Structure 1
Amino acid sequence: MHSENLQLWTHCHVFGQDQRRRGERRTLLVIALTAATMVLEISTGIVFGSMALLADGLHMASHTVALGITALAYVYARRHAANPRFSFGTGKVNALGGFTGALLLAGFSLAMAWESMARFFAPVPIAFDQAIGVAVLGLLVNGVSVLLLGDGHDHGHAHGQGQDHHHSHSHEHDHNLRSAYLHVLADALTSLLAIVALLAGKYLGLAWMDPAMGIVGALLVARWSIGLLRDTSHTLLDRQAPDALCQRLRDAVESRGHDRVADLHLWSIGPGLHAAELAVVTHDALTPDDVKARLPKELRVVHATVEIHRCPGGG
Structure 2
Amino acid sequence: MSRHGHTHEETEKHELATETSSNTCRLALVAVVNFLGFLAELAGGLLFGSVALLSDAFHMLFDMLAYAMAFGASYTAEQFEGRDEWSYGLHRLEPVAAFLNGILLVPMVGYILWESYHRFLDPVSIDPTMTLIIAVGGLLINLGSVYIVQGREMSLNERGAFYHLLGDAGGSVAVIISTLAVVIFDLPIADPVAAVLIGVLILVSAGKVFRGSTSILLE
TM bin, normalised by shorter chain, reads 0.7 to 0.9
- Give, in whole Å, the separation in 1 of the partners of 2:58 and 2:122: 19
| Greater Rg over alpha carbons, structure | 1
More helix by share: 2
Residues 147 and 175 (structure 1), Cα distance of their counterparts in 2 relative to 1, 3 Å cut: same
Partner residue in 2 for 1:146: 146
Q: Take 2:209 and 2:218, find their aligned partners in 1: how far apart are those partners? A: 14
2:88 matches 1:88: yes
For residue 179 of structure 1, what is the amino acid of its counterpart? G
Q: Which has the higher strand share?
A: 1
Q: Distance in 1 between matches of 2:119 and 2:83?
A: 51
**Distance between the aligned counterparts of 1:87 and 1:153, measured in 2?**
24
- 2:202 partner letter: V
Residue of structure 1 equivalent to 2:66: 66
Flag structure 2 segments of 5+ consecutive residues without an equivalent: 1-12
The match for 1:19 is 17
Instruction: Select 2:208's aligned residue among 202, 227, 242.
Output: 227
1:151 is paired with a residue whose SS is coil
Shift of 1:177: 0.3
Q: In structure 1, what is the equivalent of residue 195 of structure 2? A: 214
Give, in whole Å, the separation in 2 of the partners of 1:213 and 1:183: 17
Structure 2 length-normalised TM: 0.87
In structure 1, what is the Cα distance between the partners aligned to 2:97 and 2:148? 19
Query: Which of 204, 222, 236 matches 2:217?
Result: 236
Q: How does 1:154-165 map to 2 (within 5 A)?
A: none
Report the TM-score when normalising by structure 1. 0.61
Greater shift, 112-121 or 35-44, is seen at: 112-121
Equivalent residue for 1:194, pick from 175, 188, 198: 175
Cα distance in 2, alignment partners of residues 70 and 123 from structure 1? 38
Contact 1:23 1:152 in 2 (8 A): no
Specify the alignment match of 2:160 in structure 1. 179
Deviation track 1:43-102 (CA, whole Å, cap 9, x = no partner) reads 111000011111111111111111110110011111223244324332321111111112
Relative to 1, partners in 2 of residues 1:231 and 1:64: Cα closer, same or farther, differing over 3 Å?
same
Whether the 8 Å CA contact 2:56–2:198 is kept in 1: the answer is: no
Runs of 4 or more off by more than 3 Å in structure 1? none
Q: CA RMSD in A?
A: 1.8
Larger deviation, residues 84-93 vs 45-54: 84-93
Q: Please identify, of 98-107 and 184-193, the stretch whose mean Cα deviation from structure 2 is larger.
A: 98-107
- Amino acid of the residue matched to residue 132 of structure 1? L
What is the aligned-residue identity percentage?
A: 27
Q: Compared with structure 1, are the counterparts of its residues 81 and 107 closer, same or farther at alpha carbon in structure 2 (3 Å cutoff)?
A: farther
Partner of 1:276: none
SS of 1:19's partner is: helix
For structure 1, list consecutive stretches of 5 or more residues without a partner in the other structure. Answer: 1-14, 155-173, 239-315
Structure with bigger RCO (C-alpha 8 Å, 6+ apart):
2
- Asked whether the 8 Å contact 2:27–2:71 carries over to 1, the reply is yes
Give CA-to-partner distance per residue, 1:144-192, whole Å, 9 cap, x none.
10111112355xxxxxxxxxxxxxxxxxxx1110111111111111111
Q: 1:19 to 1:84 in 2, by over 3 A?
A: farther
Query: 1:63 & 1:224 partners in 2: Cα distance?
Result: 11
